[in-house]
Amino acid sequence: MVLKDILEEEERGFIVVDALDECDSLHHRIEVLEFLSWLIVEVKCDLRILVTSRPEHDIVNAMTELKVPKRFVPFDTDSVNQDIHAHLVGLMCRAPYSRWAKSIQNEVITQITAESDGVFRWADLQIQSLERFSRKPDIRRVLARLPKGLNQTYERMLDTIDEDYVQDASAVLRWLCYSRLPLTLKQLAEIAAFRRSTGNQVVFDPEYRFEDPSEILAILTGLITVLEYNEPHEDPQDNMVILSHFSVSQYLKSRDVTRPEFQMIDHDSAWFMVQSSLAYLGHYDNPLERLVPYPLLLGACVNLSNFARGLLEESSTDQLQDLMKLITPYLRSKSYAISLALSDRDISLHVWGLTQAVNTGDIRLMQFFLDSGDTGCLGYTGHHFALHGLSLEEPSCFIPRSNASLDHITTIEEFKMHITQPSVWARAEITDEHILETVEWLLAHVSVDFNAVDVSGESFLLRLARLSNTRPGLRKVMERLLTVDEVDINTKNRLGWGLLVIAITAKDDWLFETIMACNKTVQIDPQDHYGWTPLDWALYQKQDSMAQRLMSASQDPGHNAKDARNNAGSLAVTETESWRSPLGEVWSVNFSHDGLRLAVSGDACDIFIIETYNNDSQVRLSHNYAGVGNTAWSPNDHLIVACSQDRHARIYDSVVSKPRDIIVLYQVWLTEEYLA
Question: Mind spelling out the 3-state secondary structure of 231-284?
Answer: CCCCCHHHCEEEECCHHHHHHHCCCCCCCHHHCCCHHHHHHHHHHHHHHHHHHH
**Residue 203: in which H helix or E strand, if any?**
strand 202-204
Question: Pick the residue with more confidence: 540 or 423?
Answer: 540
For the ranges 164-168, 330-334, 340-344, 633-637, the maximum mean pLDDT occurs at 164-168
- Nearest one of 359, 345, 249, 253 to 302, comparing CA atoms: 345
Instruction: Please give the residue that has the higher pLDDT: either 52 or 456.
Output: 52
Strands 380-381 vs 628-633: parallel, antiparallel or unpaired: unpaired
Most confident listed range (316-320, 370-374, 586-590)? 586-590
Closest CA to 646 of 621, 626, 618, 660: 626
- What pLDDT was estimated at residue 604? 76
Calculate ∠ Cα 130-136-138, nearest 5°: 55
Angle, CA 474 vertex, CA 364 and CA 506 arms, to 5°: 150
User: Can you give the pLDDT at residue 204?
Assistant: 93
Q: Where are the beta strands (DSSP E) in 287-346?
A: none
pLDDT band at residue 563 using 50, 70 and 90 as cut-offs: very low
Give 457: exposed, middle or buried? Use CB within 10 Å, 0-12, 13-18, 19+: middle
Phi, psi of 60 (to 5 degrees): -60, -45
pLDDT exceeds 70 at position 390: no
What average pLDDT does range 237-258 have in this prediction?
Answer: 90
Phi and psi for 459 in degrees, rounded to 5? -85, 170
Residues whose CB falls within 8 Å of the CB of residue 577, separated by 6 or more in sequence, listed in order: 615
Phi and psi for 83 in degrees, rounded to 5?
A: -65, -40
Residue 541 vs residue 394, higher pLDDT = 541
Per DSSP, 432 falls in state T
- Average the pLDDT over 619-630 and give the result: 76
Are the C-beta atoms of 390 and 464 separated by less than 8 Å? no
pLDDT higher at 477 or 193: 193
- % the chain with pLDDT above 90: 26
C-alpha dist (Å) from residue 434 to 16, 350, 362, 391, 443: 52, 22, 9, 10, 14
Is the pLDDT reported for residue 574 higher than 60?
no
Q: Which of 120-129, 307-316, 338-347, 600-609 has the lowest mean pLDDT?
A: 338-347
Check residue 173 and give its pLDDT. 97
Name residue 50's beta-bridge partners: 16
List, in order of start, the domains of the chain with CATH numbers.
2-65 (no CATH), 77-146 (no CATH), 163-355+413-424 (no CATH), 456-573 (1.25.40.20), 586-675 (2.40.10.480)
* Neighbouring C-alpha atoms within 13 Å toward the C-beta of 592: 21
| Residue pLDDT, tens place only, 149-169 | 899 999 999 999 999 999 999
**247, 155 Cβ separation under 8 angstroms:** no
* Per-residue pLDDT tens over the stretch 15-34: 999 888 887 677 788 888 88
Q: Determine the 3-state secondary structure of 647 from DSSP.
A: coil
| Gyration radius of the chain's alpha carbons | 32
Beta-carbon count within 10 A of 23 CB: 17
Q: Residue 587: what are its φ and ψ, rounded to 5°?
A: -105, -30
Task: Give pLDDT, residue 579.
Answer: 53
Residue 141 is predicted with a pLDDT of 94
Q: State the Cα torsion 641-642-643-647 to the nearest 10°.
A: -100
133 within 8 A of 230, measured Cβ to Cβ: no
| Residue 404 pLDDT | 42
Residue 561, pLDDT > 60, answer no
How many residues does this entry show for the chain?
A: 676
Outline where DSSP puts E strands in 117-167. Answer: none
Measured distance CA(301)–CA(274) in Å, rounded: 10
pLDDT of residue 410: 63
Q: What angle do CA 63, 67, 68 make, to 5 degrees?
A: 85
Which band of pLDDT confidence, cut at 50, 70 and 90, is reported for residue 671? very low
Instruction: Answer whether residue 512 shows pLDDT above 90.
Output: yes
Q: Which position has the higher pLDDT, 434 or 467?
A: 467
Provide mean pLDDT across the span 220-233. Answer: 79
Query: Residue 498 pLDDT more than 60?
Result: yes
Hey, how many other C-beta atoms are within 10 angstroms of the C-beta on 260? 8
Best CA proximity match to 279, nearest among 345, 218, 195, 341: 195
What's residue 230's pLDDT? 58
Range 109-113 average pLDDT: 94
Question: Using one digit for the tens of pLDDT, what is the confidence trace for 404-463?
Answer: 444 556 666 666 665 655 444 444 445 677 778 888 888 888 777 778 877 667 888 888
- What pLDDT does residue 102 have? 94
